[in-house]
């Protein structure tokens, strides 16, 4: 990904258009290319409306209650426009609040294809009702939903406690569809509808006048681009208050801290998928992807708000405790004068409707399950995709690819994928190959296949306008391109020069796109070739804010309404193509840069075009943690940094950090010097090799974590507070994290560091250094001296982690290798873990239940492996070669009992014991990894 | 896979025909066979511990150094030995045993992975021997050529040296001649100068007389013009109409000022006018002249070129390549800027004023002319001799420069000097002029890009003369300047065999030359029959 110096690839025709984007951007983002809230007319309009008395009133007499749905009308007393409120109680402790115009002039966009199904509902019942409002029961735990009529507001309460309030600050704003003034009188004459509407329009008239005087209502110009806004103002806004909450998270993607900051005095967090050249750290500017999900958290409860809207969105956050010092807070507490801390959040979107899912938790894991039940879980990747990825813009030719593959072997660095960026194509025509540099792609792919490695080739969604290009001709003749406001094919500048943008919101278009990945359509492709979708925000070099014009048309919808979901559709169509080419047998692997709520279902995401700077290494943690909180687990940052050349130290540290992040890919900009891992002297090659080897040894653990994420929606990479929700020390931590719940990682992300302090959570826990096996108590900050080889990581006492310590050159080579179990004892002397095995690349685990899923438990001196999926069947050649107990006492004897005909018979197992470290190693139990067995320590 | 195959029969070809079976654990080289004695406890090769022999190759790593598992993948740091009969034996990391990929050409690394490997040792051995043989031939011939190159270089160097000596000797003569001719020139120039000065002075005097007469006439004319009432006096009032005479240029010519101009008098007659004319004549404008407004002065403004248009136009070429190949963009840029700078600054200049009244100097008299001719001849002779001296200096410098290059330990690279070699690829023509520069030119038009100028020999310390480095070529967008590494290999021909750009703006060129051919080893290592087992023993 690289919106970079597009310029150098453009032909002369676009120079004038491009110019403004490239002056002065050499060092960092050119902020002037992107709108501030003030420059985005709806944001400014909305933000100028301050909290106060809401003009909305609930018309209780219009209330209708069916088993699962309550509807009632809201009226704006200023303009008499009526809205329709729908309330649903959803299974799994969620509430859905939908607000649309009662009678819109034309339908407003409701985002399709994000929810995996119509969310199942549960009965709503009225508990109490009077002229002031209605109280509804939300089922368990004394939870009630209170609808107040005048002014309209919603409160969700549990017993006496308010969990969450909507419109309590009166910021519900719904810009209803209206006719343009100059066409209005004519239309009025034709209008023969009832008195109610006339009344509405009469009142509307005054309001309209006022609104039309605001600039940017019917037309808006930013830099040289004019947005024609044929539908006029359509924005919406709603406020949410979280009493007792001081920490909110989520709404990626921003290059910012894990904990969201208050936005008072600055711009709101912006969600608008954009190709930002050399993005800046620590600001709320929009980036490549958008997931409109916000989590609130305090020691008692975690909740989530999912704002299902694909238009440009801004999120304001304010807090009544922000800026108070800890001492100030204490003083308030002691004096009893403190108001309850509260966080207020306001969502503003340019179009569409209000459709909000309130996830009531109460635990973080509940919120993840709730969100997963709405939008699905992380796609289960092929095992190989969890290995190391070697990328560069660009490997020059087939010989270069062969050389890199050989270099990895010569230096004994494991790798599963080599990647090809845009230069592999014939003139940026995706689905083709450069006839000189990649003339025999199948030879190249076969060469990699012989090494049990894979390739990724990039396919971007902008299609070169060229009448000799088959893909373009097909899309044009099938009328699949996005249209400009005048109905012609929309064209913009991107890598190939003039390009069209297929309308991925169109299901027919997606089906056709998917068919293009068939082996007989995509010439030169093979089953070990996968796909990378870049630039799918979409990036349009000469468009407003480097993206598509908002008045472009996707069928009858404006780009304005679908912008943030475009990238998801590209990703989805590609992933479906990869599934279909194998007849539905093989799991796809597709990386995307743009994303939206639900993108987790289609593959991996990376943090875009970062830079070779320490700050970018450091920010990769909170950026991926934020994505994990909103369902996207398969996240990574370009190892080494995309722009600029990393120092050797930074490169090594980035490999070390990347080895412990879900998506592990080294990538580099075209203009940077080569940086394959062996180019920095034998010492650094060894450091990088060691980091990559640690990754490969842990692949069984990673795979099991991804299986778990796929099945349950729990994130792979977790902020500490997710597992320690009552420990407020963890709430701000973003320089360390957990993989699953058992492996704590604190990578070194600072230059020249000689030591660091890691927080080991859990007062009653113990943690074992995975490198030295040394035991440390939880609930403390641990001082750790570090050297260049240090990757501080700790296994939680009470867990069992499975590893394959025979690291080979690719994950496929390790398929049948034996496991080593690391049994880290809790202070109570117990431990548990899981082991998941399948073929590593097909859907058989799902379709034929062809997998092994085992529970490993250690209790009272007995370690046993039991089947977690009795109806599954799969055989593996892998066995257990070693079991290492951390924090164990020395046993007198160790015996093994296996299932089958010899069940009950015991064999002695040899062991070694290190009394200084309390480490017990069992030599070669030898049981099959899929078998039932127990080991007894006596 | 738990039952490791402990031993396997190994066929060795000794000499040409004798076959002996040697028992040793899988993956152990013959040289270490002695440490693995069947039935006896095995001591790890690092001495760290001793284990029963049945733990050798039992697919569990007991020794820290991996020596108990030479034939399995159990130890992370182990290595496996393939005999590769027919080719060269090799060690591979243990992690490549049974990984489904054929690493050893004799297939012995994949004994239990299900991979179907073909024994390719004989074929590989044959191919390697063939290529070695070819290489040996090339090396042999190349080495002979190299000897010639060395001889040639020696001769050339001697030639250059003697040429240098010769030039330096010649130079002294020429220097003397220059000095002699300088004296001649100076001697001839003295009388020339004097004669010219005389001539000039005479003419200046003549001019002064003419000018004075003209001035007088002008004064008389002015007097008549000013003396409006023709009373023979120019009065204050009469003079006051000439505003241009205003001494303080404040726009008004007061009576006092006029009086001042008139030397305090109210009016002056012709002879007094003569005294004050000096104060007036520079400013005075004849009335006949003043009637014509000077239309000439404004005219140039209108003919101005619309240069401002160019300034307001954006400079899109900045940092933006006009064509696909960025190599050109810098050049294009430069061109563009030059274009702007070169735009003639039309019209702002006013034409040079030449005094038409001034008459040309009369020609020199014959005597002066002959002095000038003689001096000119002396000058020409002197300059010619100086030019000759410069030429010699240049030659000396060039030879000294050439002699200063490091042309290799035996000067074998001398012949490359001042030569150029080209390679045409699908897009570009690459050119290397050794010890000078490397460049690239698009095949289908476009300007040349400098990929670096001669920097230094850059091979490894023990083999410095195998790599050349060319540096400081044309700068790259947002990057360093281009550079090229040239790898030299032995060949009969001197030619560029390939070029590539492994990293942005860092080029790699492969170049063959006999100059790097090493003396062939005296012993022939190649067995004609294909069994090269000597490495084992």
pLDDT tens digits for A514-529?
999 999 999 999 999 9
As a whole number, mean pLDDT of residues A490-496 equals 97
User: CA quadruple B510, B513, B514, B518: dihedral positive or negative?
Assistant: negative
Residues of chain A found within 8 Å of residue B73, distances taken between Cβ atoms:
806, 808, 817
Give residue B340's pLDDT band: very low, low, confident or very high (50, 70, 90): very low
Residue A792 in this model has a pLDDT that exceeds 90: yes
Task: Report the mean per-residue pLDDT for chain B.
Answer: 80
Question: How far is the C-alpha of A536 from the C-alpha of A569, rounded, in Å?
Answer: 9
Determine, for residues B502 and A674 on separate chains, whether the beta-carbon distance falls below 8 Å.
yes
What tens digit of pLDDT does each residue of A529-539 get?
999 999 999 99
Per the DSSP assignment, residues forming a β-bridge with B304 are none
For residues B300 and A317, the model is more confident at A317
Question: How far is the C-alpha of A102 from the C-alpha of A471, rounded, in Å?
Answer: 43
Q: Which of A75-79, A501-505, B315-319 has the lowest mean pLDDT?
A: B315-319
In which element (H, E) is residue A184 found? helix A181-190
Quick one: DSSP state of residue A41? H
As a whole number, mean pLDDT of residues A2-19 equals 40
For residue A244, count CB atoms less than 10 angstroms from its CB and return exposed for 0-12, middle for 13-18, buried for 19 or more. Answer: middle
For residue A784, count CB atoms less than 10 angstroms from its CB and return exposed for 0-12, middle for 13-18, buried for 19 or more. Answer: middle
Determine, for residues B502 and A396 on separate chains, whether the beta-carbon distance falls below 8 Å.
yes
User: For A8, which of B2, B99, B329 is closest by C-beta distance?
Assistant: B329
pLDDT of residue B451: 96
Q: What does chain A come to in residues?
A: 938
For residues B510 and B6, the model is more confident at B510
Residue B342 in this model has a pLDDT that exceeds 50: no
Per the DSSP assignment, residues forming a β-bridge with B230 are none
Question: How far is the C-alpha of A252 from the C-alpha of A286, rounded, in Å?
Answer: 9
Residues of chain B found within 8 Å of residue A22, distances taken between Cβ atoms:
319-320
Determine, for residues A808 and B324 on separate chains, whether the beta-carbon distance falls below 8 Å.
no
In which element (H, E) is residue A683 found? helix A681-697
Give residue A903's pLDDT band: very low, low, confident or very high (50, 70, 90): low
Question: How far is the C-alpha of A226 from the C-alpha of A712, rounded, in Å?
Answer: 46
Give residue A367's pLDDT band: very low, low, confident or very high (50, 70, 90): very high
As a whole number, mean pLDDT of residues A754-762 equals 97
| A674 has a chain B CB within 8 A of its CB | yes
Phi, psi of A931 (to 5 degrees): -90, 160
Question: How far is the C-alpha of A579 from the C-alpha of A383, rounded, in Å?
Answer: 16
Q: Which of A368-377, A813-822, B130-139 has the lowest mean pLDDT?
A: B130-139
DSSP A889-917: PPPS-EEEEESGGGTT-EEE-EEEEETTT
Please check whether residue A548 is in contact with residue A492, taking contact to mean a CB–CB distance below 8 angstroms. Answer: yes
User: For B478, which of A11, A451, A671 is closest by C-beta distance?
Assistant: A671
pLDDT of residue A874: 97
What tens digit of pLDDT does each residue of A836-888 get?
999 999 999 999 999 999 999 999 999 999 999 999 999 999 999 999 999 99
* Probe site for chain B from A671, A699, A803, A912 (most B CB atoms < 10 A): A671
Quick one: DSSP state of residue A660? T
Phi, psi of B132 (to 5 degrees): -65, -40
For residues B214 and A414, the model is more confident at A414
What tens digit of pLDDT does each residue of B68-89 get?
999 999 999 999 999 999 999 9
Question: How far is the C-alpha of A838 from the C-alpha of A382, rounded, in Å?
Answer: 10
Alpha-carbon A226 to chain mean position: 32
Question: How far is the C-alpha of A773 from the C-alpha of A920, rounded, in Å?
Answer: 11
Question: How far is the C-alpha of A731 from the C-alpha of A248, rounded, in Å?
Answer: 10
As a whole number, mean pLDDT of residues A127-136 equals 93
Residue B305 in this model has a pLDDT that exceeds 70: no
DSSP B407-476: --TTSTTGGGTT--EEEE-SSEEEEEETTTEEEEEETTS---EEEEEEEEE-S-GGGGGGEEEEE--SB-
Please check whether residue A458 is in contact with residue A430, taking contact to mean a CB–CB distance below 8 angstroms. Answer: yes
**What does the angle CA A417 – CA A422 – CA A424 come to, to the nearest 5 degrees?**
75
Give residue A245's pLDDT band: very low, low, confident or very high (50, 70, 90): very high
Å between A931 CA and nearest CA of chain B? 16
Long-range contacts of A445-450 (CB under 8 A, 24+ apart): A445/A524, A445/A525, A445/A526, A445/A528, A445/A529, A446/A526, A447/A401, A447/A402, A447/A405, A448/A401, A448/A405, A448/A418, A448/A528, A449/A526, A449/A528, A450/B101
Please check whether residue A930 is in contact with residue A899, taking contact to mean a CB–CB distance below 8 angstroms. Answer: no
Strands (E), B242-393: 267-269
pLDDT of residue A68: 84
Could you report the predicted ipTM of this complex, rounded to two decimals? 0.90
Give residue B318's pLDDT band: very low, low, confident or very high (50, 70, 90): very low
pLDDT of residue B226: 81
Neighbours of A192 (CB within 10 A): 6
Q: Which of B141, B319, B50 is nearest to A7 (CA)?
A: B319
Å between B2 CA and nearest CA of chain A? 8
* Probe site for chain A from B504, B507, B508 (most A CB atoms < 10 A): B504
Quick one: DSSP state of residue B353? P
Å between B511 CA and nearest CA of chain A? 18
Question: How far is the C-alpha of A641 from the C-alpha of B378, rounded, in Å?
Answer: 73
Please check whether residue A70 is in contact with residue A87, taking contact to mean a CB–CB distance below 8 angstroms. Answer: yes
What tens digit of pLDDT does each residue of A61-111 get?
999 999 889 999 999 999 999 999 999 999 999 999 999 999 999 999 999
What tens digit of pLDDT does each residue of B412-462 get?
999 999 899 999 988 899 999 999 999 999 988 889 999 999 999 999 998
Q: Which of A368-372, A574-578, B255-259 has the lowest mean pLDDT?
A: B255-259
As a whole number, mean pLDDT of residues B1-8 equals 41
pLDDT of residue A108: 98
Determine, for residues B319 and A22 on separate chains, whether the beta-carbon distance falls below 8 Å.
yes
pLDDT of residue A833: 98
With a pLDDT cut of 70, the percent of chain A lying above it is: 91
3-state secondary structure of A801: strand
Task: Report the mean per-residue pLDDT for chain A.
Answer: 92
Neighbours of A728 (CB within 10 A): 14
Burial A173-185 (b: 16+ CB within 10 A, else e): bbbbbbbeeeebe
User: CA quadruple A724, A726, A728, A729: dihedral positive or negative?
Assistant: negative
pLDDT of residue A331: 53
Residue A512 in this model has a pLDDT that exceeds 70: yes
What tens digit of pLDDT does each residue of B90-104 get?
999 999 999 999 999
Alpha-carbon A127 to chain mean position: 39
Q: Which of A152-166, A496-510, B306-320 has the lowest mean pLDDT?
A: B306-320
Question: How far is the C-alpha of B146 from the C-alpha of A493, rounded, in Å?
Answer: 56
User: CA quadruple A374, A375, A376, A377: dihedral positive or negative?
Assistant: negative
Residues of chain A found within 8 Å of residue B506, distances taken between Cβ atoms:
673-674
Question: How far is the C-alpha of A599 from the C-alpha of A36, rounded, in Å?
Answer: 27
Determine, for residues B322 and A879 on separate chains, whether the beta-carbon distance falls below 8 Å.
no
Å between B292 CA and nearest CA of chain A? 51
Q: Which of B117-126, B142-151, B347-356, B359-368 has the lowest mean pLDDT?
A: B347-356
Say what angle helices A681-697 and A699-712 make with each other, to 10 degrees: 50
Residue B253 in this model has a pLDDT that exceeds 60: yes
pLDDT of residue A700: 98
In which element (H, E) is residue B238 found? helix B236-240
Residue A146 in this model has a pLDDT that exceeds 70: yes
Residue A209 in this model has a pLDDT that exceeds 70: no
Please check whether residue B91 is in contact with residue B41, taking contact to mean a CB–CB distance below 8 angstroms. Answer: no
Residue A357 in this model has a pLDDT that exceeds 80: yes
Residue B19 in this model has a pLDDT that exceeds 60: no
What region, left, alpha or beta, does residue B266 occupy, with left being phi > 0 and alpha being psi -120 to 50 degrees? alpha
What tens digit of pLDDT does each residue of A923-934 get?
999 999 999 999
Question: How far is the C-alpha of A609 from the C-alpha of A655, rounded, in Å?
Answer: 17
Neighbours of A905 (CB within 10 A): 11
What are the residues whose beta carbons fall under 8 Å from the beta carbon of B292, sequence distance 6 or more?
A: none
pLDDT of residue A338: 56
Give residue A573's pLDDT band: very low, low, confident or very high (50, 70, 90): very high
3-state secondary structure of B188: helix
What are the residues whose beta carbons fall under 8 Å from the beta carbon of A857, sequence distance 6 or more?
A: A800, A830, A831, A832, A863, A864, A866
What tens digit of pLDDT does each residue of A248-298 get?
999 999 999 999 999 999 999 999 999 999 999 999 999 999 999 999 999
Q: What does chain B come to in residues?
A: 537
As a whole number, mean pLDDT of residues A565-593 equals 98
What tens digit of pLDDT does each residue of A680-733 get?
999 999 999 999 999 999 999 999 999 999 999 999 999 999 999 999 999 999
As a whole number, mean pLDDT of residues B299-309 equals 41
pLDDT of residue B289: 63
With a pLDDT cut of 90, the percent of chain A lying above it is: 88
Q: Which of A599, A494, A490 is nearest to A554 (CA)?
A: A490
pLDDT of residue B424: 93
Q: Which residues of A are catalytic?
A: 534, 609
Burial A621-636 (b: 16+ CB within 10 A, else e): bbbbbbbbbbbbbbbb
Neighbours of A790 (CB within 10 A): 18
With a pLDDT cut of 70, the percent of chain B lying above it is: 79
Q: Which of A700, A697, A699 is nearest to A854 (CA)?
A: A700
Determine, for residues B320 and A8 on separate chains, whether the beta-carbon distance falls below 8 Å.
yes
DSSP-derived pairing of the beta strands A388-390 and A664-666: parallel
pLDDT of residue A324: 58
Chain A: residue whose CA lies nearest to B110: A813
Quick one: DSSP state of residue B243? G
User: For B101, which of A18, A436, A450 is closest by C-beta distance?
Assistant: A450
Phi, psi of A206 (to 5 degrees): -65, -50
Q: Which of A195-199, A540-544, A668-672, A896-900 has the lowest mean pLDDT?
A: A195-199
pLDDT of residue B339: 41
Residue B497 in this model has a pLDDT that exceeds 90: yes
User: For A881, which of B60, B100, B101 is closest by C-beta distance?
Assistant: B60
pTM given for the model:
0.83
Phi, psi of A825 (to 5 degrees): -80, 140
């Amino acid at each position: 990904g690289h919106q970079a110096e597009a310029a150098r690839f453009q032909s002369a025709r676009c120079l004038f258009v491009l110019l403004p984007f490239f002056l002065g951007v050499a060092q960092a983002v050119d902020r002037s290319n992107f709108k501030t809230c003030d420059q985005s007319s709806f944001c400014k309009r909305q933000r100028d409306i301050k909290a106060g008395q809401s003009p909305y009133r609930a018309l209780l007499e219009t209330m209708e209650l069916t088993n699962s749905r309550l509807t009632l009308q809201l009226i704006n007393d200023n303009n008499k426009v009526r809205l329709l409120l729908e309330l649903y109680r959803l299974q799994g402790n969620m509430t859905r609040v939908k607000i649309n115009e009662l009678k819109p002039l034309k339908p407003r966009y409701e985002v399709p294809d994000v929810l995996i199904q119509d969310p199942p509902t549960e009965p709503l019942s009225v508990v109490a009702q009077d002229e002031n409002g209605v109280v509804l029961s939300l089922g368990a735990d004394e939870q009630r939903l209170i609808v107040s009529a005048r002014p309209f507001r919603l409160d969700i309460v549990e017993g006496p406690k308010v969990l969450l309030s909507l419109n309590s600050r009166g910021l519900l704003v719904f810009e209803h569809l209206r006719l343009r003034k100059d066409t209005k009188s004519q239309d009025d004459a034709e209008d023969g509808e009832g008195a109610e509407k006339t009344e509405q329009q009469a009142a509307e008239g005054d309001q309209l006048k006022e609104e039309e005087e605001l600039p940017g209502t019917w037309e808006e110009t930013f830099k040289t681009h004019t947005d024609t806004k044929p539908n006029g103002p359509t924005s919406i806004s709603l406020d949410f208050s979280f009493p007792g909450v001081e920490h909110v998270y989520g709404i990626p993607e921003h290059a910012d801290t894990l904990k969201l900051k208050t936005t008072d005095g600055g711009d709101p967090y912006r969600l608008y998928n954009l190709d930002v050249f050399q993005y800046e750290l620590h600001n709320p500017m929009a980036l490549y992807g958008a997931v409109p999900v916000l989590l609130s958290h305090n020691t008692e409860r975690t909740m989530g708000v999912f704002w299902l809207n694909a238009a440009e969105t801004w999120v304001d956050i304010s807090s009544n405790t922000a800026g108070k010092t800890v001492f100030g807070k204490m003083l308030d507490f002691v004096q009893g004068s403190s108001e309850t801390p509260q966080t207020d959040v306001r969502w503003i979107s340019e179009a569409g409707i209000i459709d909000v899912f309130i996830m009531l938790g109460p635990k973080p894991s509940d919120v993840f399950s709730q969100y997963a039940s709405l939008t699905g879980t992380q796609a289960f990747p092929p095992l190989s995709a969890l290995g190391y990825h070697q990328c560069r813009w660009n490997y020059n030719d087939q010989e270069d690819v062969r050389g890199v593959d050989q270099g990895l072997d010569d230096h004994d660095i494991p790798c599963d994928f080599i990647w090809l960026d845009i230069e592999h194509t014939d003139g940026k025509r995706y689905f083709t190959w450069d006839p000189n540099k990649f003339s025999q792609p199948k030879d190249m792919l076969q060469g990699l296949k012989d090494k049990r490695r894979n390739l990724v080739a990039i396919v971007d969604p902008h299609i070169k306008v060229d009448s000799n290009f088959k893909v373009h001709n097909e899309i044009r003749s099938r009328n699949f391109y996005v249209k400009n406001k005048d109905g012609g094919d929309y064209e913009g500048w991107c890598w190939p020069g003039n390009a069209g943008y297929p309308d991925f919101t169109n299901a027919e278009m997606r089906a056709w796109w998917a068919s293009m990945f068939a082996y007989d359509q995509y010439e030169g492709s093979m089953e070990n070739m996968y796909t990378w979708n870049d630039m799918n925000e979409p990036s349009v070099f000469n468009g407003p804010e480097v993206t598509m014009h908002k008045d472009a048309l996707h069928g009858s919808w404006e780009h304005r309404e679908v912008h943030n979901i475009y990238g998801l559709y590209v990703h989805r169509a590609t992933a479906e193509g990869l599934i279909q080419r194998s007849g539905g047998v093989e799991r796809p692997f597709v990386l995307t840069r743009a994303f939206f709520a639900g993108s987790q279902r289609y593959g991996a995401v990376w943090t875009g075009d970062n830079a070779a700077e320490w700050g970018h290494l450091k920010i990769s943690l909170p950026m991926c943690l934020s994505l994990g909180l909103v369902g996207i687990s398969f996240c990574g940052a370009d190892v080494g940094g995309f722009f600029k050349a990393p120092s050797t130290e930074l490169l090594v540290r980035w490999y070390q950090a990347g080895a412990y992040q879900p998506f592990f890919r080294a990538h580099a900009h075209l203009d940077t010097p080569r940086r394959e891992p062996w180019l920095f002297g034998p010492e650094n090659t060894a450091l990088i090799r060691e980091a990559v080897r640690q990754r490969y040894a842990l692949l069984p653990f990673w795979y099991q974590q991804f299986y778990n994420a796929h099945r349950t929606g729990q994130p792979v990479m977790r902020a500490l507070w997710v597992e320690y929700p009552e420990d407020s020390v963890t709430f701000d931590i973003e320089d360390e994290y957990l993989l699953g719940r058992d492996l704590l990682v604190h990578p070194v992300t600072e230059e020249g560091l000689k030591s660091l302090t890691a927080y080991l959570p859990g007062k009653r826990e113990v943690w074992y250094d995975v490198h030295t096996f040394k035991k440390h108590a939880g609930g403390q900050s641990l001082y750790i001296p570090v050297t260049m080889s240090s990757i501080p990581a700790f296994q939680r006492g009470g867990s069992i982690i499975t590893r394959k310590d025979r690291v080979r050159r690719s994950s496929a080579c390790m398929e049948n290798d034996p496991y080593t179990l690391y049994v880290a004892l809790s202070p109570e002397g117990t431990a548990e873990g899981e082991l998941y095995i399948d073929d590593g690349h097909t859907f058989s685990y799902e379709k034929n239940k062809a997998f092994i899923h085992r529970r490993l438990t250690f209790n009272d001196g007995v370690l046993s492996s039991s089947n977690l999926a009795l109806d599954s069947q799969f055989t593996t050649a892998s066995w257990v070669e070693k079991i290492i107990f951390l924090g164990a006492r020395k046993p007198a004897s160790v015996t093994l009992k296996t299932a089958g005909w010899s069940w009950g018979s015991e064999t002695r197992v040899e062991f070694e014991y290190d009394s200084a470290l309390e480490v017990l190693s069992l030599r070669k139990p030898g049981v099959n990894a899929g078998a039932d067995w127990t080991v007894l320590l006596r | 896979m738990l039952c490791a195959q402990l031993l396997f029969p190994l066929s060795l070809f000794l000499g040409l025909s004798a076959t002996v079976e040697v028992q040793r654990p899988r993956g152990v080289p013959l040289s270490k066979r002695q440490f693995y004695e069947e039935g006896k406890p095995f001591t790890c090769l690092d001495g760290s511990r001793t284990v029963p022999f049945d733990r050798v190759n039992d697919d569990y790593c007991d020794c820290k150094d991996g020596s108990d598992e030479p034939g399995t993948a159990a130890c992370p740091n182990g290595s496996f030995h393939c005999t590769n009969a027919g080719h060269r034996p090799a060690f591979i990391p243990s992690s490549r045993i049974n990984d489904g990929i054929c690493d050893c050409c004799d297939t012995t690394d994949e004994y239990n992975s299900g991979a179907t490997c073909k024994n390719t040792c004989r074929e590989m051995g044959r191919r390697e021997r063939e290529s070695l043989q070819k290489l040996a031939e090339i090396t042999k011939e190349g080495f002979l050529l190299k000897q010639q190159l060395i001889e040639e270089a020696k001769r050339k160097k001697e030639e250059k040296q003697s040429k240098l000596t010769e030039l330096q000797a010649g130079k002294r003569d020429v220097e003397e001649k220059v000095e002699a001719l300088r004296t001649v020139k100076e001697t001839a120039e003295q009388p020339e100068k004097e004669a010219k000065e005389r001539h000039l002075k005479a003419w200046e005097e003549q001019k002064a007389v003419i000018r004075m007469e003209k001035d007088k006439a002008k004064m008389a004319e002015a007097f008549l013009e000013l003396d409006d009432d023709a009373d023979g006096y120019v009065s204050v009032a009469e003079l006051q109409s000439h505003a241009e005479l205003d001494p303080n240029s404040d726009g008004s010519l007061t009576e006092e000022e006029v009086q001042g101009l008139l030397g305090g008098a109210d009016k002056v007659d012709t002879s007094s006018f003569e005294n004050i004319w000096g104060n007036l004549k520079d400013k005075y404008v004849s009335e006949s002249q003043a009637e014509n407004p000077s239309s000439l002065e404004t005219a140039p403004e209108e003919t101005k070129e619309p240069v401002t248009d160019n300034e307001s136009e954006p400079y899109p070429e900045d940092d933006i390549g006009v064509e696909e190949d960025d190599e050109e963009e810098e050049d294009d840029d430069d061109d563009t800027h030059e274009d702007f700078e070169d735009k003639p600054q039309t019209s702002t200049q006013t034409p040079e004023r030449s005094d038409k009244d001034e008459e040309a100097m009369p020609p020199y008299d014959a005597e002066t002319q002959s002095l000038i001719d003689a001096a000119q001849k002396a000058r020409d002779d002197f300059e010619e001799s100086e030019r000759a001296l410069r030429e010699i200096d240049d030659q000396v410098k060039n030879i000294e420069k050439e002699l200063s290059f490091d042309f290799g330990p035996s000067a074998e690279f001398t012949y490359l000097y001042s030569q150029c070699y080209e390679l045409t690829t699908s897009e570009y023509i690459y050119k290397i002029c050794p010890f000078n520069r490397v460049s690239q030119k698009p095949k289908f038009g476009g300007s040349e890009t400098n990929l670096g100028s001669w920097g230094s020999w850059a091979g490894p310390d023990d083999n410095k003369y195998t790599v050349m480095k060319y540096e400081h070529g044309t700068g790259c967008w947002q990057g360093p300047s281009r550079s090229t590494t040239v790898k030299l290999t032995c060949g009969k021909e001197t030619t560029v065999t390939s070029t590539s750009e492994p990293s942005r703006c860092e080029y790699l060129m492969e170049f063959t030359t006999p100059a790097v051919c090493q003396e062939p080893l005296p012993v022939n290592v190649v067995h004609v029959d294909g069994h090269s087992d000597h490495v084992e023993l």
